[in-house]
Amino acid sequence: MKPTPAAQTLIAIDDLRVGVFVHLDMGWMSHPFPLSSFKISSADQIVTLRSLGTQHLRWSPELSDEPDAEPPPVPAAPAPLSAEAQALAAHRAALAAQQDSLQRCERQFSEATSAYQGIGDRVRLDPVLAGEQALALSDALLGKMAQEEELCIRLLNEGAGDKGSAHAVNVTIISLLMGRAFGLQEDDMRDLGVGALMHDVGKHGMAASDQHRDEVNPHHDPRAYEEHVARGVSQGRHMGLSAAALLVIAQHHEMADGSGFPLRLGSDRMSALARIVALVNRYDNLCNPSVPSRALTPHEAVSMLFATGSQKFDPPILNAFIKMMGVYPAGSVVQLTDDRYGMVVAANSSRPLKPRVLLHTSGVPRDEALVLDLETVPGLGIRRSLKPSALPVATLEYLQPRRSLASFFERARPLVATA
pLDDT computed for residue 4 by the predictor: 41
Instruction: Judge whether 152 and 410 are in contact, CB under 8 Å.
Output: yes
Condensed to tens digits (0 to 9), the pLDDT of residues 208-236 reads 878 887 666 656 677 888 999 999 999 99
CA 236 to CA 253: how far, in whole Å? 16
Residue type, 102: L
pTM over 0.85: no
Question: What's residue 5's pLDDT?
Answer: 38
How far is 74 from 201, CA to CA, in rounded Å?
Answer: 61
221 vs 215: CA distance, rounded Å: 10
The closest of 254, 248, 333 to 287, measured between CA atoms, is: 333
One-letter amino acid at 195 equals G
How far apart are the C-alpha atoms of 66 and 368, rounded to whole Å? 36
The average confidence (pLDDT) of the chain is 85
Q: What is the pLDDT of residue 219?
A: 63
| The pLDDT of residue 148 | 61
Let me know if 112 is exposed, middle or buried by CB neighbors in 10 A (0-12, 13-18, 19+).
Answer: buried
336 pairs with which residues across the strands? 382
| Concatenated DSSP letters of 27-62 | -GGGSS-S-SEEE--SHHHHHHHHTTS-SEEEE-GG
- Look at residue 257 in the predicted model and tell me its pLDDT: 93
Residues of the chain with pLDDT under 50: 1-7, 415-418
CA torsion through residues 109, 115, 117, 119, sign: negative
